[in-house]
Structure 1
Amino acid sequence: MTQITSVQPGSGVEDGAVSPQIRIGAQFTRYPELEDQPLIESLHTAVTDGFQLVVLNNIAAELAADGPDGLDEVAAEAAGAGTELQLGLGCAGPFGDPQTLRASLRQAMNRGLELGIREFFVYTRSERDGGMEAGRFLDHPAQLRNILATLNAIAPEAEAAGARINVKTHEDLASGEVLALVERLDPAVFAIGLDVANLVVRGEDPQAVAQKLGPRIRMTHLEDLVLFPVPDGYRRRLRAVGEGVLDWNTLLGTLLDAGVRDFTLEQHRGRFDTPVFDRSWFAHEPHLDAADLGQLARLGVLTHDGAAQGRFPVLQDWDEEPTPGERRRQMLHSTATLRSVLTSIGATVASPSTVLSREEGKQ
């Protein structure tokens, strides 16, 4: 739930401080409403909608194409518009053949480097209660060691190119586990990509995590959420920024204080539960903190009250996937909300490359 207030101490910009220059970015594989079109069309539309930064989830489809991948045209279009490109390299494990996994990450990174990209992210797909790999059981600590080895293996190419790889707070890892990985890696190469909506899946409070990870954060993946109470705990559903229960005034202020200057919107559709009422769940969640769980309960109450008052759809109305048009509206609404909140707490948001092509997102 966003509340826009005047500048206050601790809100990200103190009295007399120089107002930071902020970029708002869009993250996608294809931009909403352009899912079946070439990537260049998504880039055109994102630039027209005013984004100064575009983060591509991946370029797997382009790399798998029989003919030219078309990415040079995309990079040239972005450069001409003054829009930076960043790139997701894919999954860093822990499962799968290590050599194949590393070759895939290197292929994406090397193509990105050819395009002039220097900021990348990776995600993970660990299993909290363990899993089988090549005929042997990997507990979660062993999975984290595999991820660490893979990231170390691709670090030399990144360092030589002056590139940065950000480890995303994905739904499978607690923020402390991501921080521990990054702290064991080369600080000249590795940092953290903060996905605020994923944190609640591991029972964490987004505000507390933003404070804890602080200057380690270089990339953000932002969207709002609602958290419905269900028999086993809480069920997360995703919303446009400002249409959920997160306090964006406080959260963005914390990120500004930490030195974050790029705020990128992501609209993934992952559906997850946080089964905090199931005692067995806690056996594989050693990071859990009572204060964080209290904040999850608060978000659950805000969701319950919002649904009862008609501000959110009730849970049974969330089964249908949003249409491409609705996802486009959400992206534009999130952009307008970010710009408004950041400006209200004293930040200077960079002017868009072009004027927003559609204003309904501001409604």
Structure 2
Amino acid sequence: MTQITEMLPGSRSPEDREFPAVRLGIQFTRYPGMEQLPLLDSLRQAVDDGFTLVVLNNIAAELAGESEDLLDEVAAEARRAGVELHLGLGCAGPAGEPAAVRRELRSALARGLELGIKEFFVYTRSVREGLVEQGRFLDHAAQLRLILANLESLATTAGDAGARINVKTHEDLASGEVLSLVQGLDPAVFGIGLDVANPVVRGEDPHAVATALGPLTRMTHLEDLVLFAVPHGYRRRLRALGEGVLDWDELLGSLLAAGVRDFTLEQHRGKFDTPVFDRSWFRYEPHLDAPGLGQLARLGALTHDGVARGGIPPLADWDEDPAPAERRRQLLHSAATLRRILTSIGAGVAAPATILSGEEGLS
């Protein structure tokens, strides 16, 4: 077993901690490096690596009959191991026929509730320049209204079950837009899933976004980033925690102070540009401000300096996806970094066995 929950030398003892125990989570469709194996194998590897929370990206293949439905076995295994499951419901729009989108969301929610899951997330895929859907042109404001209606269709079922649905800060939405969506919904049901690497795609400072959204954040999607200067702006690439340019002491401290207790790693290769040198881009980004753009430039400068020192690979080396062994190295490095920083700022990381026994144990 790869243990990631022991206390580090020099860290605070449980008696000295300032925060309740937190959970270390991992998010996947299949575990990094085990993409071809069944979901049950992914769960077992997560347990073996010491995670106490597993966030499944989606169960679309099982719901569509494209993959053998072993979800009941996965849920039973998670309960035996003292690991909590969360679930992604899929895309809340705006693309697609609304009735079909809502039907798919409700189907995933119903199956998740059957499995005993009570925490969910959704993402969005809006188009800031406008979207033609069902023969109608929808500007971005209209797209947000459609997303809101899709989410509202889940409120009663989720609320009756005591479940929560978190709107992810996906790369297509500014943080204020996510906040407005959630504030327009039932606060007993809806919260925010904070992906700290996505705000830069909309020209925002992740540290400021974490502070602003922290009080409504129930889920986290954590990865580090680097930001390369390109002719039209900045190009984002993702890295293991501590190997990029985000300030994790500041980010995690802010989220802990806001009451966040679940810290979940998400490892993927999402590639996006932020074309801040293109004047026309600003037409669709009314949320932008000078401090946020200044922080974006700072992250770009830190990336440039890291490349010059040899600590960050140059942009040309980021085209190929990493091999399974490297994906696993990145994951374990992220987990160790996350655990070390959380512990150093006064948060104990709960171990699976203590959750299973119902006791508040720390490691």
- TM-score, normalising length: structure 1: 0.92
**Matches of 1:34 and 1:93 in 2, distance apart?**
30
Q: Aligned pairs, how many?
A: 343
The offset of 1:54, in angstroms, is 0.1
**Matches of 1:215 and 1:67 in 2, distance apart?**
38
**Matches of 1:323 and 1:132 in 2, distance apart?**
39
Q: What is the DSSP-based 3-state SS (H/G/I as helix, E as strand, rest coil) of the residue aligned with 2:198?
A: helix
Conserved in 1, the CA contact under 8 Å of 2:21 and 2:349?
A: yes
**Matches of 2:249 and 2:338 in 1, distance apart?**
9
Q: What is the DSSP-based 3-state SS (H/G/I as helix, E as strand, rest coil) of the residue aligned with 2:197?
A: helix
Equivalent positions of 1:1-363 (< 5 A) are 18-65=18-65, 69-353=69-353
Conserved in 1, the CA contact under 8 Å of 2:25 and 2:264?
A: yes
Conserved in 1, the CA contact under 8 Å of 2:18 and 2:346?
A: no
Conserved in 2, the CA contact under 8 Å of 1:245 and 1:303?
A: yes
The offset of 1:64, in angstroms, is 1.9
**What residue identity is the alignment partner of 1:305?**
D
Q: What is the DSSP-based 3-state SS (H/G/I as helix, E as strand, rest coil) of the residue aligned with 2:117?
A: coil
Alpha-carbon displacement from aligned partner over 1:299-358 (angstroms, at most 9, x marks no partner): 00000000011001000111111112211111111000000001111111112559xxxx
Q: Which runs of 5+ in 2 are unaligned?
A: 1-7, 355-363
Q: What is the DSSP-based 3-state SS (H/G/I as helix, E as strand, rest coil) of the residue aligned with 2:244?
A: coil
**What residue identity is the alignment partner of 1:139?**
D
Conserved in 2, the CA contact under 8 Å of 1:27 and 1:265?
A: yes
**What residue identity is the alignment partner of 1:49?**
D
Q: What is the DSSP-based 3-state SS (H/G/I as helix, E as strand, rest coil) of the residue aligned with 1:54?
A: strand
**Matches of 2:126 and 2:219 in 1, distance apart?**
21
**Matches of 2:325 and 2:30 in 1, distance apart?**
13
Alpha-carbon displacement from aligned partner over 1:194-247 (angstroms, at most 9, x marks no partner): 000011000010110111112100000000000000001100000000000000
The offset of 1:65, in angstroms, is 2.1
**What residue identity is the alignment partner of 1:253?**
G
Conserved in 2, the CA contact under 8 Å of 1:94 and 1:125?
A: yes
Conserved in 2, the CA contact under 8 Å of 1:51 and 1:353?
A: no
- Structure 1 stretches of 4+ with a deviation exceeding 6 A read none
The offset of 1:18, in angstroms, is 3.9
RMSD across aligned positions (CA): 1.7
Conserved in 2, the CA contact under 8 Å of 1:158 and 1:189?
A: yes
Conserved in 1, the CA contact under 8 Å of 2:17 and 2:347?
A: no
Conserved in 2, the CA contact under 8 Å of 1:48 and 1:353?
A: no
**Matches of 1:111 and 1:312 in 2, distance apart?**
42
**Matches of 1:305 and 1:225 in 2, distance apart?**
14
Q: Which has the larger displacement, 343-352 or 229-238?
A: 343-352
Q: What is the DSSP-based 3-state SS (H/G/I as helix, E as strand, rest coil) of the residue aligned with 1:194?
A: strand
Partner of 1:358: none
The offset of 1:61, in angstroms, is 1.2
Alpha-carbon displacement from aligned partner over 1:39-59 (angstroms, at most 9, x marks no partner): 000000010000000000001
**What residue identity is the alignment partner of 1:30?**
R
**Matches of 2:123 and 2:61 in 1, distance apart?**
18
Higher relative contact order (CA 8 A, sep 6+): 1
Q: What is the DSSP-based 3-state SS (H/G/I as helix, E as strand, rest coil) of the residue aligned with 1:348?
A: coil
The offset of 1:63, in angstroms, is 1.5
- TM-score, normalising length: structure 2: 0.92
Conserved in 2, the CA contact under 8 Å of 1:27 and 1:54?
A: yes
The offset of 1:67, in angstroms, is 7.9
Conserved in 1, the CA contact under 8 Å of 2:25 and 2:262?
A: yes
Q: What is the DSSP-based 3-state SS (H/G/I as helix, E as strand, rest coil) of the residue aligned with 2:153?
A: helix
Conserved in 2, the CA contact under 8 Å of 1:119 and 1:163?
A: yes
Conserved in 1, the CA contact under 8 Å of 2:191 and 2:217?
A: yes
**Matches of 1:169 and 1:93 in 2, distance apart?**
14
